[in-house]
Every structure is written in structure tokens, then in C-alpha cells.
Structure 1
Amino acid sequence: MVSRLCLLLTVPLPSPPPLGHTEGFPWTSVPGSGRGDRRPGQPCRATPHDIATMQLCANKLDKKDFFGKSDPFLVFYRSNEDGTFTICHKTEVVKNTLNPVWQPFSIPVRALCNGDYDRTVKIDVYDWDRDGSHDFIGEFTTSYRELSKAQNQFTVYEVLNPRKKCKKKKYVNSGTVTLLSFSVDSEFTFVDYIKGGTQLNFTVAIDFTASNGNPLQPTSLHYMSPYQLSAYAMALKAVGEIIQDYDSDKLFPAYGFGAKLPPEGRISHQFPLNNNDEDPNCAGIEGVLESYFQSLRTVQLYGPTYFAPVINQVARAAAKISDGSQYYVLLIITDGVISDMTQTKEAIVSASSLPMSIIIVGVGPAMFEAMEELDGDDVRVSSRGRYAERDIVQFVPFRDYVDRSGNQVLSMARLAKDVLAEIPEQLLSYMRTRDIQPRPPPPANSSPTPAPEQP
């Protein structure tokens, strides 16, 4: 089971990882919840699964916004042997300030220095812009060894902009960044929890709104061609066939939303694909696909597009089991037109404290700005002044993974790799915040984990 997943996620593929997340690590090597902090004064000698946790702030950064101050964030780069740099972390954006204080964050030590404590770590400071053309404020360099000194003292770095330094004789700096704290934990891995009996519970929600087009027409995103799978079916099969290996009973609740149901034409934003309100479970991914195809033949695509009902449905199940034995993953496949953005943000913020992750796969030609906002990689999702406790949403547009030669197997492998890349760290972040350690692996002849609460 583990080997199949690891094989998929370690195959080198051309698509880069999302900013703000450790790149290049398979599920077997993404560290997580701590086995204990090192005492101040102890040397920072990193083991393969060590995690560095740090917090930084800045003072008097350059003003970049005409009508405001700046919206600063940091980008961390690890230097490579060939002189290039690889992004290994990006902080959140702090809005409208020249003196930001960023949230503490954790990063695998080997992502930061790859075992070389004196390897250069470059940190760029940017002013965030909505259109993606972020303004460069300045940079500074450090190393893992230097960062580790902050266990005993604050470390202040000058932020320098080389271009401004060349042009202005009296240029001093573009502000300073202070490392407020730095600690190293020996961490458990995702596989430690899986071996200890933690189950992933997979729920599917599929967009049945009219914006997808008539399923009987070849232009529809739901078109049931006799020759190839639709984008919806490919996304479902790609993600589901991998994640089902971690679900003991292989029974998946599967829902549709945004359709009119027969016979009375009631609009539903959370109907079971198997037409069984008492038991929405489908047997394996093939069972989900079969129910999905059957629903396309019987319901009327309509609208509007509401995400919140199905998110809240899974969240209610996740809220009942908080001991680390179950972790819920909701896969939403959609064309990206969303009608309840405010309610969805509120649902995500509430779910961020639960053992739960949300994967959103966007199909079709939409720009998906709303989905990118829900992903929260640039700006953390918030609702009514309350911010998400953890990053639990991963969004990917399906079109980025379609193989140009038409090879559906390769398209699905690429999609599954990036879609599932954040689940281990999201699971581990939940375990870490709740101080839940993995259970010892059960004996080979022990009874299976009890069935989870179904959403």
C-alpha cells in the first residue's frame, strides 16, 4: 500500500510544487508532530526528520503601495550546488504595514539546508500585489547554523535592495528583519501515523450545475464519451485510486450538488450519487464512478453552486473523532463558478480546527480566482475577522495536468501527485497542534480499526 503511493509521488514530473510548501518530498518523508523540543543551548544537529520552527518580524520596510504602506511577505530559498536557488517556503502576507509580524511556521531542516548547516539560505522580502506582480523590497542571507543561534538571542538582518544601493549614495537599507525565535523538534512522519492505524476517510462532491454544459453534448465537461473519460471522471479516478489504499473499508460517501432531482424537481446541494439518503457510501472508486454516471442520466444540471453544505457535512463527521484515529479528506470537483463564497469561507475557517482536508480540482477553462482565494497560499482564508487555524485547502486546475499527447494515464499521475502532495503536512499539522502522537503499529494478527463516522 505505502510503496504504491510512494512510487507515484517520487516520480520526477515537470510541474513545480505550490509556493509555501516543502518541495520534492514523498509522503514517507514529510515530517510532522514533534517528539520533543530541544532545550535552549543544545546544539542544533539535524536528523532526517527534524523540523525547524521559527518566527520573524520586520521593522521600517520600504513603502511600496501608492495608497497604503506595503503588504509584506518572505520567500525562503535554499542554495544548490550549481549556484542556483530553490524556493522552500513562503510566509503569509501581512496587509498594510511596514512593521509586520509573521506567524510562526515550521519547515523540514533538510528542505532548508539539505544537511549542510553552513549552506546559504537566501530570504527575499516582497510587497504582495493582487495581480501577482509582487514588488521586490530587498533580501538578506543566512544559514541554518546562524538561524539556530536565535535559540538564545534575537538575530537582526538588514534588508538590502542591490539596485537601490547602487543608485543612492546615502542608501542604508530597506528595513530590517528580526528572527524572534527558532527551535528544532524531532518529528513523526505521515507514515508513522498510517502504520499506527490512522485512517483516511475519503468523501467526494461533484458539481452538477448547468454551467458545466449539457452532458449529452461533446462540449460539456460532463460529456460521457464512449472513447475517453471526462475531466470530472479522470480527476475522480486519479485521486481516488490512490487515496482508497488508505481507507480500510473502501466505502466512500459520494455527493452531487447544484442539480434538480426527480421526480418533483427539488434543487439539492448535497444529494447522494447512489440515490440512497440513508447510506451514501459507494463501493470503491469504481462504485463512485458508476453512481456518478447514473446520476448524470437522471438529474437535471441546474444551480446555483454551493460548496458550504457538503463542507459542513464532512466537518460534522470529523468533529466527532478528534483522537487522531481518523482523518477526513473531501474532494470537490467543480468548474469553478461559486455562488456562496462567504458561507464557504466560514465553513473552511470552522473546519480548519478539525482532522480534515479539502481538495478542490477545477475543470474547464475558467480563471478560478475564487478557488485560488480559497486555497489560501497567498492570504490565509478568513471569515468575520476569524482566520483559518490551519491551511486545509489545496486547489489545482485540471488543465495544467493534461498531457499534450492525450495520454490520460500520465495526466492522472501528474494530477494525483500534486493534489495529494499537501495532505501529509495538513494531517501532521493537525496532529502537531493537538499534540497527538502516532500509536505503535498493531501486531499483524490484531483486529482492524473500527469503522469511522460517515459524513
Structure 2
Amino acid sequence: MGINGSKRNNVNSYNKQLEEYIFPENYSPHRAGSDFAVIPDSFISLDEVTDSLREHGFESSNLIVGIDFTKSNEWTGETSFHRRCLHDLRDSPNPYEQALSIIGKTLPEYDEDNLIPCFGFGDESTHDQTVFGFNHDNVACHGFANVLQRYREIVPNVDLAGPTSFAPIIETAIEIVENTGGCYHILFIIADGQVTRSVDTEPGVLSRQEKETIDAIVKASEYALSIVVVGVGDGPWNTMKQFDDGIPQRLFDNFQFVNFTEIMNNPVNLSRKEADFALAALMEIPFQYHATIELQLLGLQI
């Protein structure tokens, strides 16, 4: 068998393992207490999203932000960021700053108190075990201008590391939802790529970080929490797309992936790109919010 055939078999084996973990043998989509269904991307404008939110009784939410400080940021800007580290603060705004700015411009009406808990993960101090707060004692940032200010102050002092796992930031968001009496939150994770697969991970086997991330996403579906992963840099994003439309162990489809790089490369003007990004980020929120009501998760303290 040629090298390409061998690689293809490894990829197929890995995809099968991911599918079996996401879709376990004993899983039944009609099991008691679960009516999981993938949420389709149904809107073509922000106004439609806003109208749908109103129809579902949506009044307000709270935002949480998680930023990826793993070492892969040093090379995943090879194509999309002129071979620079994605956290490079020189010259023009980097992709993280761009994404934060657009979220701050287009989504403030979806945040109730303008207090935004912000965290970093994947650096030398946290690795794949925990997160660090942007402020002392994890005090929330006051608006996105403050988020950007703290980001620029933090970046020069952060040592990029790894491995990459979304589990710690998702677990942190779950704690915040619990501590606020089950208030609805949207977690934005801005990241540069896949959850880590180390070189010693067997072909066709999920890494510990992948399993922990999947388990955290499933656990998060028991809370009034939506997860939006914003992909910056070159990717790849195949696992994120599988997370988006798979994992039926969840009580509801609580995960949305948005390819920021792809949207920003579209041949349209900047305001259209910003609107397209906001639309993609909020596309599933009306249905997710409605699901938290139907499942009686809103206001639930576990």
C-alpha cells in the first residue's frame, strides 16, 4: 500500500473513532430525556436573528470570552497572517483583536450588564488543565474596549505553550452559569485550531484532550449555556465542524463553529464581513435559547 493509501486509512480510522465516541453504540436519539437534533443555519440577516430571539422571549444574556494562548499560534498564521504569530501586536490589529472588536461592535445588545468574564488558556501557566483570568481575582472586564485593553497588556507577558483543550474554559463557563443562578450565557472561544493530538496518540484513537473537550461540551448542554468557537488562522477545522453538527449525547445542540478567517477573506466590504461574522456567530442562538427554556435549564441551579 502506498504512503497516501496508508495516510487515508489512518484518517478514516481516526474519523471512525471520533464518530464512535461522539455516537456511542448504546446511544439512542429517542432515549428518555433527550430530543437532540442538529440546529440548521436558518437565517440570512441579523434582523431575522433578532426577530427570532424576540419570538422566543429572549430579553438578555451574558457573554464570556476565552482566548487560545497555545504555541501553535506561532505558525498557524502562515497563510492568513503573513507568517506572523497570530498574537503579534505590531502594525495592524491581529486576528484575535479583529474578532474581539467585531464581537464588541455587533453583539453588545446581547450582553445584559456589559461585564464580560475573560480568560486565557493553553499558556505555560495553565496548559490544558485550567484557565487564567484577564484581571486579578477573575474580575470581569467592563465592555469590549476593556477586553481589548487587557488583551494587549497581557500578550507580551504570556508564554505560549499547550496542549490545546477546550475543556477548562467550558468548565469555567459552566461554573459562571451556576454562580449566577442559571442565567443564560454565551461563551465565545477564539482559537487557532484543533484540540491537541500528540505525536504519541495512536492512529484512529482520540486524544485525552479531545475526549475531555467532548465530555465538557456534553456536560455544558445541561446548563443555560451556548458555545461559539471562532476559528482564527489557517486551521485545520475538521474536528470543530464535527463538534458543531455531532455529539448527540447532548441535551441540545449547544455548539457553533464560525470560520473567522474564511469570512474575513470574502471579497466584500468590511461592514458586510462584520455583519456576516455576527450572523454566523448568532445563527443558532434563538434555537439554543429556546431549548434551554424547553428543557427547563434557564434559572436552574444544579
Q: 2:61 maps to what in 1?
A: 200
Higher deviation after alignment, 400-409 or 298-307? 400-409
Structure with the higher fraction of residues in strand conformation: 1
* Conserved 8 A contact 2:39-2:287: no
The AA in structure 2 aligned to 1:245 is E
Deviation of 1:298 after TM superposition, in Å, equals: 0.7
The AA in structure 1 aligned to 2:170 is I
Report the CA distance shift for 1:291/1:351 in structure 2 as closer, same or farther (over 3 A): same
Report the CA distance shift for 1:309/1:392 in structure 2 as closer, same or farther (over 3 A): same
Q: Which deviations, in whole Å up to 9, do the C-alpha atoms of 1:105-135 show, x marking residues without a partner?
A: xxxxxxxxxxxxxxxxxxxxxxxxxxxxxxx
Give 1:242-253 correspondences, 5 Å limit: 242-253=106-117
Report the CA distance shift for 1:298/1:332 in structure 2 as closer, same or farther (over 3 A): same
Q: 2:103 maps to what in 1?
A: 239
Give unpaired runs (5+ residues) of structure 1. Answer: 1-17, 32-187, 438-452
Deviation of 1:20 after TM superposition, in Å, equals: 2.3
Report the CA distance shift for 1:210/1:429 in structure 2 as closer, same or farther (over 3 A): same
Larger relative contact order (Cα-Cα within 8 Å, sequence gap ≥ 6):
2
1-structure distance, mates of 2:88, 2:269: 18
* Conserved 8 A contact 2:120-2:132: yes
Q: 1:414 maps to what in 2?
A: 276
SS in structure 1 at match of 2:151? helix
SS in structure 2 at match of 1:337? coil
* Conserved 8 A contact 1:259-1:269: no
SS in structure 1 at match of 2:236? coil
Give 1:213-362 correspondences, 5 Å limit: 213=74, 219-226=84-91, 228-261=92-125, 267=127, 269-274=130-135, 276=136, 278-320=137-179, 326-339=183-196, 340-362=209-231
Identity %: 30
- Normalised by the length of structure 2, the TM-score is 0.72
Report the CA distance shift for 1:341/1:193 in structure 2 as closer, same or farther (over 3 A): same
* Conserved 8 A contact 1:269-1:309: yes
Give 1:20-31 correspondences, 5 Å limit: 20-24=40-44, 26-30=48-52
Higher deviation after alignment, 388-397 or 416-425? 416-425
The AA in structure 2 aligned to 1:363 is V
Q: 1:388 maps to what in 2?
A: 250
Report the CA distance shift for 1:235/1:424 in structure 2 as closer, same or farther (over 3 A): same
Give the root-mean-square deviation of aligned CA atoms: 2.9
SS in structure 1 at match of 2:66? strand
Report the CA distance shift for 1:427/1:333 in structure 2 as closer, same or farther (over 3 A): same
Deviation of 1:404 after TM superposition, in Å, equals: 4.8
Q: Which deviations, in whole Å up to 9, do the C-alpha atoms of 1:140-183 show, x marking residues without a partner?
A: xxxxxxxxxxxxxxxxxxxxxxxxxxxxxxxxxxxxxxxxxxxx
Deviation of 1:435 after TM superposition, in Å, equals: 8.9
Report the CA distance shift for 1:350/1:421 in structure 2 as closer, same or farther (over 3 A): same
- Normalised by the length of structure 1, the TM-score is 0.49
Q: 1:366 maps to what in 2?
A: 235
Q: 2:17 maps to what in 1?
A: none
Structure with the higher fraction of residues in helix conformation: 2
Q: Which deviations, in whole Å up to 9, do the C-alpha atoms of 1:38-96 show, x marking residues without a partner?
A: xxxxxxxxxxxxxxxxxxxxxxxxxxxxxxxxxxxxxxxxxxxxxxxxxxxxxxxxxxx
Deviation of 1:292 after TM superposition, in Å, equals: 1.0
Deviation of 1:209 after TM superposition, in Å, equals: 0.7
Give unpaired runs (5+ residues) of structure 2. Answer: 1-37, 197-208
* Conserved 8 A contact 1:255-1:280: no
Deviation of 1:431 after TM superposition, in Å, equals: 0.8
1-structure distance, mates of 2:287, 2:267: 33
Give 1:167-206 correspondences, 5 Å limit: 189-190=55-56, 192-194=57-59, 199-206=60-67
* Conserved 8 A contact 2:184-2:298: no
The AA in structure 1 aligned to 2:280 is D
SS in structure 1 at match of 2:84? coil
2-structure distance, mates of 1:253, 1:428: 24
- State the aligned residue count: 244
SS in structure 2 at match of 1:319? helix
Deviation of 1:19 after TM superposition, in Å, equals: 7.5
* Conserved 8 A contact 2:39-2:253: no
1-structure distance, mates of 2:159, 2:101: 23
